[in-house]
Amino acid sequence: MSDKDFNTINSMQFDVLKEIGNIGAGNATTALSKLLNAKVDMKVPKIELLEFKDLSDVIGGAENVVVGILLTLDGDIDGMIMFILEQEPARAIVRLLMQGMCEVSDEFTELELSALQEIGNIIAGAYLSSLSTLTNMTITSSIPYLAIDMAGAILSVPAIEFGKISDKALLIETEFGDKDLEVNGYFVLIPTLDSYNAILTSLGM
Amino acid sequence: MGEMIKVGMADMNVCKPPDSITTLGLGSCVGIVLYDPGKKVSGMVHVMLPDSTKIKNNENIAKFADTGIDELVRRLLVLGATRSSLVAKIAGGAQMFAFSSNNDMLRVGERNVEATKEKLNSLRIPILAQDTGLNYGRTIEFNPESSELLIKSVGKPQKKI
């Protein structure tokens, strides 16, 4: 198998990854809409291949405090997927989901944190199912792990995984929402090098 | 007032007073400050991975503890530091997500700290202070005039080491 990495990605491969991002984000929007029992719109996702030093700038700077939900992947693809939300929209989604059951405070309660993990699980699951369908590969994911911290620190986890195969990371930014709820979410998908090759091969690259 | 020189992820830089040097939002990566206390020449590298020899794609030497520290030493010597006077302060290497499994992928913070210590030990550069591990991010700022490393985290008081 040839040695591909994100440094030498060509425009066709980039288009394929973009398309996976589009379909994944579409599925995620539908899932979120069902979960919240509300109409959720989505803008066309922006997909960027970024150098590490620029990665956290997209998410409001390295010190911007964000919610990160991480799942590790298993099956035909090894790696991890991360979903990142800003704190305010995270709070808005949780409130909508729990319909007034949460206390109004700056800190997330245990219950709210569990709800966020579940939201991350559903959104990441929707994304992964599109990848799975397109590639005809079986992908299983771990339970979701959650951290609320500086964007740079949260992103260091996927960046390190990318760091093994590349000097760049692939970030998918999706804007969900309608007039009541606007949510900027970011996906970072990190297959291991073998799995990355396997994905491209399965797509006929 | 000097400038605050920024070091990004997988990046390094050097400075002298009145300038200071910083890296923002360290997670599982390790920030390594090397300095010559007498000459006040200092530098910082933000490493992501322990070992360049284990990775094929290793052109970016600032990405790895082994090559990053070697290069930082070289640049400090160019700037006028004395090799035998160099000392270190290190921070970072957190485990950002609390995993129960022993997934190797997720213990990289710990391995980054170990590799950093081994490398500094092999170069006989003493570590004067460290703030590593645990499960939260850190922004660090080094002032070469006072040799103090300021550490800022979310929801925690600042500390100086």
Provide the CATH number for the domain around residue A134: 3.40.1550.10
Domain range summary for chain B, segments of one domain joined by +? 4-160
Q: How many CB atoms lie within 10 A of CB B29?
A: 34
In a domain, A2, yes or no: no
Q: In A, what residues contact B, Cβ < 8 A?
A: 3, 5, 7, 52-56, 61-63, 65, 68, 70, 72, 80, 142, 145-157, 159-161, 163-167
ipTM value for the complex:
0.88
pLDDT bracket for residue A106 (50, 70, 90): low
Helix (H) or strand (E) holding A201: helix A193-202
Residue B141's pLDDT band (cuts 50, 70, 90): very high
pLDDT category of residue A83 using cuts at 50, 70 and 90: confident
- Inside any domain, residue A5: no
**Number of Cα atoms under 13 Å in the Cβ half of residue A127:** 28
Please check whether residue A185 is in contact with residue A82, taking contact to mean a CB–CB distance below 8 angstroms.
Answer: no
Helix/strand/coil for A163:
helix
Contact B9 A159 (CB under 8 A): yes
Candidate from A142, A152, A166 with C-beta closest to B57: A166
| CATH class of the domain comprising B4-160 | alpha beta
In this structure, what token pair is assigned to residue A192?
């291991």
Number of domains in chain A: 1
What mean pLDDT is reported for chain A?
Answer: 78
Q: Which of B77, B78, B93, B80 is nearest to B127 (CA)?
A: B93
Q: B130 has which bridge partners?
A: B90
Label residue A1 by pLDDT band (50, 70, 90): very low
Range of the domain at A56: 11-202
Residue A47 counted as domain residue: yes
Work out the burial of residue B3: count CB atoms within 10 Å of its CB; fewer than 13 is exposed, 13-18 middle, 19 or more buried: exposed
What per-residue confidence (pLDDT) applies to A98?
A: 76
Closest CA to A181 of A46, A21, A82, A36: A36
CB A138: neighbour CB atoms within 10 A? 10
Q: Indicate whether A27 belongs to any domain.
A: yes
User: Which residues in chain B touch residue A146, judged by CB atoms under 8 angstroms apart?
Assistant: 97
Does the pTM surpass 0.90? The reply is no
Tell me the pairing of strands B87-92 and B127-132. Answer: parallel
Rounded to an integer, the average pLDDT of B122-147 is 95
Per-residue pLDDT for B56 more than 50? yes
Establish if A155 belongs to a structural domain: yes
Residue A87 belongs to some domain of the structure = yes
